Copies of this chain bind each other. A is one copy, B any other.
């Protein structure tokens, strides 16, 4: 049996684990809901369960894994294996030694990275960025994360680069829950879009968004619910997605004007679900903001799809061992 490597994408709603062979082919996978009560211990247990299930699916045990890479949605101290802060996961509002806890439960080396960073590097190595020198990955989901790849390296700056979602495109505009005003994420983050939809309903607007949510057995407006509402021509959904597209496009064009990159890669829950038609729509919406509209870079869709976060996380193992 070839060497087996595990990658885990820990999100605010689900934990996705994959086991790959040394050709990066997925040979086992598992998905669990992220526990929302009981704090870190139950999340750690769920991550270990997901890894065990994916290993089982691949026909191996966790202590036979060469290593486990984990992408987590927050600030990460990679060398110490510590999840510093993950606002989207209940109980992770202070530093937690995540790598050590998973290593103890699985008996294999564990490496930690930021979820968007590992997904963007996954696209660089195995996906839509494989032939690109310089690009920005825009991960459109609960929030809007991003990663800037320059000369094929992820740009960190002093450690906190890539916050394109928190750039201002509309001074005096919508506020994020954090208090930041007029940022791209205030318009485009799925959580903020849901807040706007609930406010609109409270103010008397009609929409089938929440009916579709209930039919899907969800408690939140998932990417699938947004897609279904959009396809059904729901006016409120169309309006909010339209505003999100314009916000993403403005911020994307701004970063192109600043860095003149080769391409934009669109990923994340919403980005992957909407796919190339949405990438084309964003490309069109970028035109008025581009300094050189006749040299617009292509807007590509993340090629690794739904499992991209977990596959990207698995690449942490090869980089460290």
A residues lining the B interface (CB < 8 Å)? 134, 146, 148, 150, 155-164, 166-171, 180-181, 246, 250, 253-255, 257-262, 288-289, 291-292, 295, 297
Q: How far is the CA of A295 from the CA of B158 in the complex (A)?
A: 10
The smallest beta-carbon distance between A136 and chain B, in angstroms, is 9
Across the interface, A160 reaches (CB within 8 A) one of B169, B262, B295, namely B295
Check if A288 sits within 8 Å of B181, measured CB to CB: yes
Residues of chain B within 8 A of A181, CB atoms compared = 288
Check if A250 sits within 8 Å of B171, measured CB to CB: yes
Residues of chain B within 8 A of A169, CB atoms compared = 168-169, 171
Residues of chain B within 8 A of A162, CB atoms compared = 258
A262 with B158, Cβ < 8 A, contacts A168-B289, A169-B169, A257-B163 known: yes
A161 with B254, Cβ < 8 A, contacts A170-B170, A288-B180 known: no
A150 with B148, Cβ < 8 A, contacts A157-B259, A168-B254 known: no
Residues of chain B within 8 A of A257, CB atoms compared = 163-164, 166-167
Q: How far is the CA of A291 from the CA of B163 in the complex (A)?
A: 7
